[in-house]
Every structure is written in C-alpha cells, then in structure tokens.
Amino acid sequence: MKALVFNEFGNSDVLQYVDIPDVVAGKGEILLSTTAIGLNFADIYRRKGNYHLVGEPPYVLGYEGAGVVTVIGEGVTEFAIGDRVAFVDVPMANAELVAVPVTQAIPIPDAIRDDVAASVLLQGLTASYLAKDSYAIKYGDVALVHAVAGGVGQMLTQIITSLGGTVIGLTSTQEKADVARKLGAEEVLLYSDDWAEKLAGKIDVAYDSVGSTLMDSFKAVRDKGTVVFYGMSGGDPAAVDPRMLMDSSKTLTGGDLWSFLTSKEERIKRSHALFEMISTGNITVNKPRKFALSEGKAAHDLLESRKSTGKILLIP
C-alpha cells in the first residue's frame, strides 16, 4: 500500500510517499480503505520529534480519518464489508489502508459525507466537551475564544452560540476575523490589539489554547469567572498563583479530549451528537482544503504556515 512516511525528524522535506507492506486486520479490528485523512498540528509536532513516537522508522503519521470497511477481523460482528467508518485516535492513518479496533470505530450516518466526518471529529469533539463539560455554557454567557478561526475555534463558536452564549474571538488577521464573524462571533479582536485591557472583567469563560496568553485570559474574565486551558500553541503558560484564584474566586480548569472518550459507547454517543448538529444545520462545516496523500509535504507546509482557516485533508 502507499503511505506518507518519514525516517528521521525534521521539516516537511523528510516526508516521503512510498510503498510499505499492507496492514492487516487483527482480532477485534476492521480494515478500512481510507477515503479522507485529517491533518492536525499533532502530525507536525510528531514529524519534528516534539511528541514521542513508538517503534522504528519508517514512521507513518495520522490519527484521524474515514474510510470503507474492506476486511472484517476475527470476532467482529458490529460491522460489515462496505460500511463507512470514521476514527479519531487510530495511528498510522496516512496510508491507503488502516486497521481500526472496533472499540475506536465510529459509524458514519448516511447524512454525513466521509470528508465531513474526517474534517470534524477531532476539533468538533474537542469543542463539544469544552462547551458542555469543561464549562457548561448557559444562555447569556460571554465566552472568549482564542484562535477563533482555527478548527476548534470555528466549531466552538458555533456550539456556544447554539447554546445561547455570545462569542468574542481572538485571532491574528482581519481575514481570519471575517471567517469567525460569519460563523457567529459577536466581536473579534486581533492579538495585536490590547485585548486583555479592553475585555478586562467582561468575560464569563475564556477558552485558551495558546498558553502564553493565560494570564491575559485571567485578566479578561470577571470575578468568579473561569479559564479553560487546553493547548499551548503559543508557548508554555506562566505559573498561576493560587492566591490570585482565591482573591478573585476565579477558576482554572484543564481540558483534554481523551478524558471524555473513555469508552466505545461514549465515543459513538458524542460523535453522533456532533453529526446531528451538522445535519440539522446548527454547525456549518467550511469546505476543507484537500491534498492528495502524495502531496503531504505541501499540506504540512500550509498547516505550519498558519495561513489556513479550515480543515486540511489528505486524500489517498
């Protein structure tokens, strides 16, 4: 099978599109012929060596995608040949074939296309737990969303507004600000603005995926407000003095998707709730940017440039 691989850590030049041995479906697994593969910043970090990788090279990136069942492994009764299935945390997805444990396989409803499923699961499920679990948005809440034009930011904006909240977004360019406004953000400020001062004490909850902005997020939230910290795209956060939390009755909470996808049933329930929001129009999915799997280097370069505003997909 063809796959996008690398043998050493580095920039996108290390990526190669080559033939590797076919994977097989083991016990409790199904084999998918992939139709769309999601590209995420985690793939960039793994390619650079920032994230730990097990095994020996050649390494195959990719954890999110969709495809069609071609082989049923021993003991599998839930799926049939031809079923459409998505996944969000199965390794070695940058290939024509992927072996997916049935515990991590998500059936795709008829109303959802493969490319949509591959575009929304990681970011959409993250946005869903942020708005419903980390801090349960209530009608009238004002939420500050960092990186509002990114994959999670776009989904989070729409989920918050569907729950009756108001979104104030942060992003780096006016072009990205326009994208966020079209998806329902009430106001969008640029990181180059003095946004923490402008918003001081006006925010109920701040969703911070940047990290280095954490103390400014605290400045923006009101007394008894909440900061949800779930990423460090801009660098490590400053240490938080618990006395500040005590004095202002503010809350700091962390967020990680894998704390919520704790079972096959939970994974399917949350995924299908997300699919339902898409099929009913509560969430609009912008058209993804598609690259052939053989064009993986160009796809990595675009994502790493931070100039993209929608999902990037690799198509085998």
CA end-to-end distance (rounded Å), the chain: 10
CATH 3.90.180.10 in the chain, residue ranges: 2-108+286-315
- What is the Cα Rg of the chain in Å? 20
Using 70 as the pLDDT threshold, list the residues of the chain that sit under it: none
Given this model, what pLDDT does residue 305 score?
A: 85
Fold entry, domain 123-258: Rossmann fold (3.40.50)
Distance CA 157, CA 209 (A): 14
Q: What is residue 304's predicted lDDT score, i.e. its pLDDT?
A: 86
- Token reading at 286: 């912008």
How many other C-beta atoms are found inside a 10 Å radius of the C-beta of residue 106?
23
In the chain, the amino acid numbered 163 is L
Q: Are 143 and 206 in contact (CB under 8 A)?
A: yes
* pLDDT of amino acid 155: 95
Residue 151: per-residue pLDDT = 87
CA atoms lying within 13 Å on the CB side of residue 189: 15
Backbone angles phi, psi at 199, to 5 degrees: -100, 0
Tens-digit pLDDT profile for residues 256-312: 999 999 999 999 999 999 999 999 988 988 889 999 999 999 999 998 887 777 789
Predicted pLDDT at 312: 93
* Residue appearing with tokens 């001062």: 197
pLDDT at position 72: 97
| Whole-number pLDDT of residue 310 | 75
* Total Cβ atoms within 10 A of residue 71: 16
Residues with Cβ within 8 Å of residue 282, at least 6 apart in sequence: 158, 159, 162
The pLDDT assigned to 166 comes to 98
CATH class of 2-108+286-315: alpha beta
Q: How far apart are CA 174 and CA 97, in angstroms?
A: 40
Tens digits of per-residue pLDDT, 175-190?
A: 999 999 999 999 999 9
pLDDT of 179:
92
pLDDT of residue 112: 96
Confidence (pLDDT) at 45:
86
Q: Is the pTM of this model over 0.75?
A: yes
260-267 LR contacts (CB < 8 Å, sep 24+): 260/125, 260/129, 260/133, 261/88, 261/89, 261/125, 263/103, 264/102, 264/103, 264/104, 267/88, 267/103, 267/104, 267/106
Output the CA–CA distances (angstroms, integers) from residue 233 to 174, 190, 210, 299, in the order listed: 20, 16, 5, 19
